[in-house]
Amino acid sequence: MSTPLTFLSDEEQMFQDSVRQFARDRIRPHVREMDDAAHFRPEILKQFFELGLMSIEIPEEYGGQGGTFFQAVLAVEELAAVDPSAAVIVDVQNTLVVNALLRWATAEQKRQYLPRLAKDTIASYALSEAGSGSDAFALQTRAADTGDSYTLNGRKLWITNAQEAGLFLVFATLDPSAGYKGITCFLVERGAPGFQVGRKEDKLGIRASSTCELIFDSCKVPKQNVLGTPGQGYKVAIETLNEGRIAIGGQMIGLARGALDHAVAYAKQRKQFGQPIGTFQAVQLELADMATELEAARLLVYNAARLREAGKPFLKQAAMAKYYSSLIAETVASRAVEVLGGVGFTKDYPVEKLYRDAKIGRIYEGTSNMQRLTIAKHILG
């Protein structure tokens, strides 16, 4: 149904095709069960590592694939077409945590953590708090210098991958009087004294992806586990989130494509008045609008990813890609439900799940309103 864009290289096309086949063969049979149980199958997580999907940009010397950021976005898109929960697991690992380590970690930190992230360790990115969402740096989690270590106290909320993660990037304020310049990023391992993963959220969508609170009660973190330098946490967060938004755009266009494909397939086989509903002009116009909006969103996402990969300014384009793709994902998924009619409203068909999954795209990694403000600031100079 969805024709690959002509400007993918042969290598990128092969990579995209392999991830697409894996998603359809290995993930699709379990999507309904995982959504109902709000639990991601461990054997599929293991397969993510075996296929290199959790280490796309990690250099080969650390056991990774030595791939590109654009390939990571392609992987997220292809997984999301089948299950957006699978896509966000891979997204957080690659475009947030691995990217942050590649840019900010010391040589020793890279030697210690990158091989684990490539082999079997899931990672999590812990920034959000109860009072810190769009105001990302209104953090209440505190870090205190206690000699040979730092002591963390506070709570994080809505942390993706938290239930399965073995490594957490945790943002805490070391010096509240310094404002955002007091924020520091810490590498915290599961099992660290004083750290525990708390309650798991019961969510509307992407239910198989775990989202939990984190609790720090006099949690001891060695000084060598600071990522970057003390006070650089805001730069780590901003730079990784700017890139992560492109991958969320990839997740949303994948979701929209999955919904469109289901709608087209149904329109071809569902008959009314003695003919397939896809022969009716009203249905054709709906499908045409969905396909056009999806293609526009895809071009925005791919353009932002290419700009980032080329080392050119991309912040406006990333905001546009994330904003528009999340809008289109919700719209296309909603229209897909309508094309399927009554059965689209049931769990017998995947479109109702995709409709539920789409909502988060306009909320996490920067709400739609925050993206619109970013776009406005750039066009106003």
Domain 235-379 classification at class level: mainly alpha
10-122: CATH superfamily? Acyl-CoA dehydrogenase/oxidase, N-terminal domain (1.10.540.10)
Tokens 């019961």 map to which residue?
202
CA distance 306 to 303: 5
**What is the model's pLDDT at position 317?**
98
| Main-chain phi, psi angles of 273, to 5 degrees | 55, 35
Give the residue numbers annotated as catalytic, written as ranges. 365
Residue 296 CB-density burial (10 A; 0-12 exposed, 13-18 middle, 19+ buried): middle
Q: What pLDDT score was predicted for residue 132?
A: 86
Q: Identify whether the C-beta of residue 237 lies closer than 8 Å to the C-beta of residue 114.
A: no
Question: Hey, how many other C-beta atoms are within 10 angstroms of the C-beta on 60?
Answer: 11
Residue 98: DSSP 8-state: I
295-300 long-range contacts, CB within 8 A, separation 24+: 296/324, 296/328, 297/249, 297/252, 297/253, 297/256, 297/321, 297/324, 297/325, 297/328, 297/329, 298/5, 298/253, 298/325, 299/5, 300/249, 300/324, 300/325
The whole-number pLDDT of residue 4 equals 45
Domain regions of the chain by residue span: 10-122, 124-232, 235-379
Q: pLDDT value at position 372?
A: 98
At 111, phi and psi to the nearest 5?
-65, -35
Query: CATH topology for 124-232?
Result: Butyryl-CoA Dehydrogenase, subunit A; domain 2 (2.40.110)
CB-based contact 58:98 (threshold 8 Å): yes
Mind listing the pLDDT tens digit of every residue in the chain (381 residues)?
444 444 799 999 999 999 999 999 999 999 999 999 999 999 999 999 999 999 999 999 999 999 999 999 999 999 999 999 999 999 999 999 999 999 999 999 999 999 999 999 999 999 999 998 788 778 999 999 999 999 999 999 999 999 999 999 999 999 999 989 999 999 999 999 999 999 999 999 999 999 999 999 999 999 999 999 999 999 999 999 999 999 999 999 999 999 999 999 999 999 999 999 999 999 999 999 999 999 999 999 999 999 999 999 999 999 999 999 999 999 999 999 999 999 999 999 999 999 999 999 999 999 999 999 999 999 999
Task: Count the Cβ atoms, other than its own, within 10 Å of residue 275.
Answer: 9
- What region does 154 belong to: left with phi over 0, alpha with psi -120 to 50, or beta? left
How far CA 299 is from CA of 150, 209, 311, 318, 363, in Å, comes to 45, 27, 18, 12, 21
- DSSP symbol at 366: S
Predicted confidence at residue 138, as pLDDT, reads: 86
In whole angstroms, what is the distance from residue 322 CA to residue 366 CA? 9
Provide the pLDDT for residue 6: 46
pLDDT at 1: 46
Give me the sign of the Cα torsion angle 46, 49, 50, 51: positive
Contact 246, 318 (CB under 8 A): yes
